[in-house]
């Protein structure tokens, strides 16, 4: 198996040692070139080694992960973030399809993150999720945030305000867009319900998550239904009715 050249960037020595130990035991395809304790050391190491993969702690003294990444117009390596960050930041990671590991590290999550990075490196399917992530962290308007949608052949990058609604299809989610296009994504509606809710979306039914900005009418009934700006009508579950009406009246 071809080795993946990697760096570890973390200001805590114990964290670096734990990650290195786990990688050696559970991810032998990863070759650790060097370890850095701050972003200054990390920049020097990246320029020296040109790694394929960087394990990057989010919060460090004298500059965070994004201060490091912003030094490249196009980040030339895969990034796996290591963080004890807040719920808000985790939502930004999920929006951007950025791989991240929560402290304390879990072996299964580490193996999965490395496998995903290896696949993108080997198949040259790299999408600059780091850039999308940084933009999402800086963007205050939820509908202007970007969403990375993984496809079989690559990725789509869309803004939240381009989405009309999402529909469950077994373990897949179908995205319907304002321009009439649609995309089938290999992730559950439950995942996107959690990711999109802070951006002005609402779960109205076990099968639907809707962009509230696209709702032009609510029809009363047991659960009722909503009419979207393109004329599409979607049923509302009775159990979701109260939450929906409250959110629509507070828009």
Q: Could you tell me if 121 and 29 are in contact, meaning their C-beta atoms sit under 8 angstroms apart? A: no
- In angstroms, rounded to a whole number, what is the distance separating the alpha carbons of residues 208 and 151? 20
Residue 94, in any domain of the structure: yes
Q: Could you tell me if 130 and 69 are in contact, meaning their C-beta atoms sit under 8 angstroms apart? A: yes
Number of independent structural domains in the chain: 2
Residue 30, in any domain of the structure: yes
Residues of the domain holding 130: 4-136
Is 125 in the same domain as 172?
Answer: no
- Out of 104, 136, 168, a domain closes at 136
Cα 235 to Cα 44, 182, 206, distances in angstroms: 56, 19, 10
Is 164 in the same domain as 132?
Answer: no
Residue 157 is predicted with a pLDDT of 86
Instruction: Tell me if residue 128 falls in helix, strand or coil.
Output: coil
Structure tokens at 77: 């390596």
Q: What is the pLDDT of residues 3-22, one digit of tens each?
A: 999 999 999 999 999 999 99
Is 87 in the same domain as 171?
Answer: no
Residue 171, in any domain of the structure: yes
Is 185 in the same domain as 77?
Answer: no
Residue 39 is predicted with a pLDDT of 92
Is 121 in the same domain as 174?
Answer: no
Is 169 in the same domain as 121?
Answer: no
Q: What distance lies between CA 212 and its chain's CA centroid?
A: 21
Q: What is the pLDDT of residues 182-205, one digit of tens each?
A: 999 988 999 999 889 988 999 999
Output the pTM of the full model.
0.70
CATH of the domain at 242: 2.40.50.1020
Residue 181, in any domain of the structure: yes
Residue 64 is predicted with a pLDDT of 82
Residue 125, in any domain of the structure: yes
Residues of the chain predicted below pLDDT 50:
none
Residue 151, in any domain of the structure: no
Is 9 in the same domain as 128?
Answer: yes
């Amino acid at each position: 198996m071809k080795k993946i050249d990697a760096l570890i960037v973390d200001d805590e020595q114990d964290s670096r040692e734990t990650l290195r130990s786990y990688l050696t035991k559970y991810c032998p395809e990863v070759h650790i070139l060097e370890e850095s304790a701050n972003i200054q050391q990390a920049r020097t190491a990246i320029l020296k080694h040109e790694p394929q993969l960087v394990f990057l702690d989010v919060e460090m003294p004298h500059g965070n992960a994004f201060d490091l990444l912003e030094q490249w117009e196009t980040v030339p390596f895969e990034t796996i973030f290591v963080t004890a960050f807040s719920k808000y930041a985790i939502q930004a990671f999920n929006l951007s399809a950025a791989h991240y590991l929560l402290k304390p590290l879990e072996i299964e999550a580490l193996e999965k993150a490395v496998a995903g990075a290896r696949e993108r490196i080997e198949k040259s399917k790299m999408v600059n999720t780091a850039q999308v992530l940084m933009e999402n962290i800086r963007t205050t308007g939820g509908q202007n945030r970007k969403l990375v949608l993984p496809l079989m052949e690559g990725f789509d990058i869309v803004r939240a305000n381009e989405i009309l609604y999402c529909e469950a299809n077994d373990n897949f989610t179908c995205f319907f867009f304002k321009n009439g296009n649609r995309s089938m994504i290999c992730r559950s509606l439950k995942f996107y319900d959690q990711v999109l809710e802070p951006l002005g979306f609402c779960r109205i039914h076990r099968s639907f998550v809707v962009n509230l900005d696209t709702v032009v009418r609510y029809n009363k009934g047991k659960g009722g239904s909503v009419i979207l700006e393109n004329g599409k009508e979607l049923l509302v579950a009775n159990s979701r009715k109260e939450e929906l009406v409250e959110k629509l009246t507070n828009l």
